Homo-oligomer: A and B are copies of this chain.
Amino acid sequence: MSLFTAHDPRTGQALAPHYADATPAEIDAACRAAAAAFPAFAALPVERRAALLEAAAEALLALGDALLVRAEQETGLPRPRLEAERGRTVNQLRMFAAVVREGSWVDARIDRCDPRRTPPKPDLRRMLVPLGPVAVFGASNFPLAFSVAGGDTASALAAGCPVVVKAHPAHPGTSALAAAALRDACAATGMPAGTFGLVQGASPEVGRALVLHEAIRAVAFTGSYRGGRALFDAAAGRPAPIPVFAEMGSSNPVLLLPGALAARGAALATAFATSITQGTGQFCTCPGLLFVPAGAAGDAFVAALGAALAASAPGVTVHDGIAAAYASEAAARGALPGVRQVGAAPRNEGAPAAAAPAALFEADGDAFRAQPRLAEELYGPAALVVRWRDAAELAALVAGLPGQLTGTVHAEAAELEAHGPAIHALRDRVGRLLFGGVPTGVEVAPAMHHGGPWPASTDARFTSVGTAAILRFARPVCFQDAPPAALPEELRDDNPRGLWRRIDGSLTRDPVGVAG
């Protein structure tokens, strides 16, 4: 039996108890239980599913301080941040309860029959139905909101899919607590056994076995490119491949245009220093690439940002493996030709292994283009400033970027047009395009899109944040000439739930009338 232990990244101390890698038999049992639960869970009235999600929110809150204390120990994230994250997690569960109740996410479509047509036109009614059991991978950087009871689990349950979570090995105790809350909620609301399951594991084999299990029909993951790609490859190689929704982070490029820099360069330096170091740089949307114009205003911005980062309070990453990878990659990039280190926070005497001091690098456009590694995410509290000479060079630099979760433009209104090509190229490479502000902070809302072209995520068509996240776990079924008794209530003539539906191509909440 392979055992592992969480560590407090602030001290390096091991945290009792030991956890064991789930055995193949345990993984199989969790997946089989989910498969067995699926038909009954999917067939429950939507009110029951909404009640489960709301009960899960309550159960998570009912864990009280125990959850926050353990999460703080296992991740080193400060208590106020964890309180806010718990609030977000609870709100996500409640939001998906509301999505399920409102019901229009099923995209109901009804085409009325026309028996007089040659050939006769059939009656067609289509809606989304759940895919089946979903494997959710807890992320290390958000131990509550993107972990056991996070958005992936909430949206999969909302869609009608049982969930088996693979806990992140950096916070197994937090995961066990959240899982207990979810199990309590399942029991309290009378869910079928197997609706929710958890497997622990520090070995990649645990996650791999989960993704390869025949009963699993989709995978949700937030983490590194390497981890996401491995799961994607495993799922694509199955006898019957399944979709993998992996959000793998990105460099989140920022275009700083001269007018914006002239108007508020100092404020921008402060804002980006805060954004880069937020959560010790462990946000998927951490702005890691800043395109700054050549010249004095740009020089001043870079100097101010470098100074702010050098003076920033030292943080710890959620486990020391992240800090080690960050230190090694930061050193390697700083040594690349044409790359200068502008500012770096000092590494304090006696700092724990998980400490990750902020750093700022600078390169010109030629050096950046010559070394594609510089465009890849450097996970941690660091950024690279790329200096550009003119609008054409900026557009070319942006056009060479890989896919991104976000792109940010700081511009005065008058300079948008002259930089149209760069902004358009940025739009084509991102899932979210910001004008002003910083990319960290992902609003949980219907219009949010958190995902982007490869390698930011494995499937740019779907979001992992916001109400649309539910669409990852469903597929359409079309009923042709079905008798009323065989139709789900969402597709019945009388529209008992008052849903928005597309009847003969037009959106309406009316019942189905007789074809004209």
Contacts and interface: CB of A to CB of B under 8 A. Distances in A.
A111 B446 contact: yes
A403 interface: yes
A441 B102 CA distance: 34
A416 B483 contact: yes
A445 B481 contact: no
B475 A461 contact: yes
A126 B481 contact: no
A413 interface: yes
A183 interface: no
Contacts of A446: 109, 111, 502, 504-505
B413 A459 contact: no
A62 to B, nearest CB: 26
Given A39-B428, A505-B446, A480 B413 contact: no
A260 interface: no
B504 A507 contact: no
Contacts of A504: 446
27 contacts: A39-B424, A109-B446, A122-B443, A124-B445, A124-B448, A129-B427, A232-B236, A240-B402, A241-B454, A241-B458, A243-B459, A413-B483, A423-B486, A431-B477, A432-B477, A433-B480, A434-B481, A435-B486, A446-B504, A446-B505, A447-B502, A449-B476, A449-B477, A449-B478, A451-B476, A460-B475, A461-B475
A445 B507 CA distance: 15
A291 interface: no
Query: 3 tightest A-B contacts by CB?
Result: A236-B236, A449-B478, A124-B447
Contact of A481 (B110, B435, B449, B454): B435
B441 A119 contact: yes
B427 A480 contact: no
Interface in A113-162: 119, 121-122, 124-126, 129, 131-132
Given A39-B428, A483-B413, A126 B476 contact: no
A455 interface: yes
B447 A126 contact: yes
A485 interface: yes
A78 interface: no
Contacts of A237: 236
B121 A443 contact: yes
A468 interface: yes
Nearest to A119: B441
A432 B507 contact: no
A104 interface: yes
Interface of A: 39, 43, 102, 104, 109-111, 119, 121-122, 124-126, 129, 131-132, 232-233, 236-237, 240-243, 402-403, 409, 413, 416-417, 423-424, 427-428, 430-437, 441, 443, 445-449, 451, 453-455, 458-461, 463, 467-468, 474-483, 485-486, 500, 502, 504-505, 507
What is the copy number of this chain in the assembly? 2
B479 A443 contact: no
Contact of A427 (B132, B454, B463, B477): B477
A16 to B, nearest CB: 37
Contacts of A132: 428
B505 A500 contact: no
A240 B240 CA distance: 21
Contacts of A468: 109, 476
B449 A126 contact: yes
Contacts of A413: 483, 485
A140 to B, nearest CB: 24
Nearest to A120: B437
A435 B427 CA distance: 46
A433 B475 contact: no
- Most chain B CB inside 10 Å of its own CB: which residue of A402, A436, A474, A480: A480
Given A431-B476, A449-B478, 15 more contacts: A43-B424, A104-B507, A111-B443, A111-B448, A119-B441, A124-B448, A129-B427, A240-B453, A243-B459, A413-B483, A435-B480, A447-B478, A453-B475, A460-B475, A468-B476
